[in-house]
A and B are shown apart, each in its own frame.
Chain A
């Protein structure tokens, strides 16, 4: 006698209980506070905000804790929450030229107005696991500059590309008047304009963009980038308030901006000019911003009169269609769900085809 397995409801409840227990871990170890995650896991918090498309460090910290440190799961929590939020309005475009920079470097010029500011970077650390210090890093020597130092703010940091642009050495990016699309409120539409592409890239998966960008460096849609400028810091967010008749600052955002200077385009009529790639990402998210700039540049092949070399990074449908880790992980992981109905239909088909082949062989 056979009785079909039941008890899906009980199994789900038990799994959730077990998950809660595992999330807490050994109760003899103190529980993490959200403030600890926000302050000491700040790059994880930044990634969750960037790919969750929501600037809220406390909420990102909560999501990381709830997700047991699985950042894609945390991003998912943020996205699912974000989509329920009402849209109060749109800000004015932020002015990254007026950014209060924690970090600002250029790889194209030894020095530039505003100077090179290394900021809090891993770049020149020796990657020696801090076995003696328990991961605390070295002792802090002397006075640590903080963001928004009066001395620092006094030095304007004009964009490197603006300096190149003054001499006409780099292609101009005229400001567009059109209202940019909102990919969270309209279905994706191909071919996608650059504003839509940049939107998709900035919330795309860091690992995916890194791989795509890396592929262009290795020759799949090569566009030889120089990091014209990389800057990280805070910008003011302003909104027009009709009642007041002016724009008011409603808050601050930490952003990472990368502008690449790429190989030139030109023709008999137009003299040679460098071209640009652009990356702008929420938080201190340098690897992502540089990757984004390289991929943006690769996707501009048509507009810049280049050839389609068939590289994956040049294919907007391929890149934009697969950059979102929430879509990707959902569809990938759904193959864990039961598929026995579809499998049964194939099983039956294969058996029938094999039976027919056997019968033909016997004849």
Chain B
């Protein structure tokens, strides 16, 4: 049931139009951060207000929404955001990646490959990939305008000089369609190859008032060096529940004596595999 006191998907139509214009501009200039007049939402900044506004602007009554946080549908904030849209938009909700038309995510890209027509909405804390190299917005905007990304390459080089490897494990910077350097939000770098996708990817940063986008089939290259190529790494294990070798894993501490197991961070992917008969090393026969 929709809460009749609010407009469909909470935001008023004028605000949604303003956000859609920013989204369209973002799609037209892949990877470019479009300023938008972010609204105060009834959930705190930093908890997905940018993603929520983008989702609100995209939703239609016919949509099916999936919300994940850390890959899981049942994490508390994912539950909270899903409930918000069930209450204010009355749209159908699903946990199945393949059944969703709009997926709002925090920190993960689903393992199940996305398809044409799907929209993936990211919650973004700090949209500016250069922010921790240059705190001033006036400066970073100039650097993007001039395609002046030398500072980023120096940073990656210094990583290698100090640590022998690029020491960025998440929010790993990418170059979109050969032009803008973009922060893919704090997804693990394991997810970076999935940024080239048939789906539309929209990024919303509420507090920082920015929206950006990767249109379908856009070229997205993770920054690296010839002698230190990018590597989408993950924990060197298989999922202990479903046995998947190629999914991103959460490490779960099981006791205080060093015991730990590894399970898929994407709960829908893991449940789907188990339903299909896949079993990991620690899966009980009755777990489905």
10 contacts between A and B (CB under 8 A): A1-B282, A82-B40, A333-B46, A340-B70, A346-B169, A349-B233, A352-B233, A353-B163, A353-B165, A356-B165
Q: Is A348 an interface residue (CB 8 A)?
A: yes
Is the beta-carbon distance between B186 and A342 smaller than 8 angstroms?
A: yes
With both beta carbons as reference points, the residue of chain A lying nearest to B12 in the complex is identified as A84
CB distance from A1 to the nearest CB of B (A): 4
- Given A1-B287, A83-B39, A331 and B164 touching (CB < 8 A)? no
Q: Which residue on chain B has the smallest CB distance to residue A334?
A: B46
Our pick among B77, B138, B251, B254 for the contact of A344 (Cβ within 8 Å) is B251
Contact A12 B79 (CB under 8 A): yes
In the complex, whether B3 has a CB less than 8 A from a CB of chain A is no
Contact B46 A341 (CB under 8 A): no
A76 touching B44, Cβ below 8 Å: yes
A6 partner residues in chain B, CB cutoff 8 A: 74
Considering only residues 1-46 of chain A, those with a C-beta below 8 Å from chain B are 1-4, 6-9, 11-12
Assess whether A339 is in contact with B249, with CB atoms less than 8 Å apart.
Answer: no
When A and B form their complex, which 9 residue pairs have the shortest distance between CB atoms, in order from nearest? A330-B45, A334-B46, A330-B44, A345-B169, A345-B188, A331-B46, A187-B35, A187-B209, A1-B284
Complex: how many Å from CA A105 to CA B38? Answer: 40
Quick check: which of A143-151, A188-196, A227-235 contacts chain B, the rest being far away?
Answer: A188-196
- Asked if A108 CB lies within 8 Å of chain B CBs, one says no
Cβ of B37 and Cβ of A186 under 8 Å apart?
Answer: yes
Chain A residues 65-82 with CB under 8 Å of chain B are 76, 79-80, 82
Closest to A80 in B: B42
Contacting residues, chain A, for B40 (C-beta < 8 A):
76, 79-80, 82-83, 326
Interface string of A293-325 (1 = CB under 8 A from B): 000000000000000000000000100010000
Q: What secondary structure prevails in chain B residues at the interface with A?
A: loop
A188: chain B residues within 8 A (beta carbon): 209
State whether B42 touches A2 (Cβ < 8 A): no
CA A24 to CA B235, docked complex, whole Å = 48
Q: Is the interface of A mostly helix, strand, loop or mixed?
A: helix
What 6 additional pairs, Cβ within 8 angstroms, besides A9-B74, A337-B77, A337-B106? Answer: A2-B261, A84-B12, A327-B207, A339-B107, A345-B190, A353-B165
Residues of chain B contacted by A345 (CB below 8 angstroms)? 169-170, 188-190, 233
Q: Tell me the chain A residues, 222-277 only, with Cβ under 8 Å from chain B.
A: none
Q: Which residues of A contact B71 (CB under 8 A)?
A: 341
CB B86 to nearest CB in A, in angstroms, measures: 11
- Which residues of chain A are near B39, meaning CB under 8 Å? 83
**Cβ contacts under 8 Å, A86 to chain B:** 12
Hey, which chain A residues are within 8 Å of B235, CB to CB? 344, 348
Question: Once the chains are docked, how many angstroms separate the CA of A1 from the CA of B240?
Answer: 10
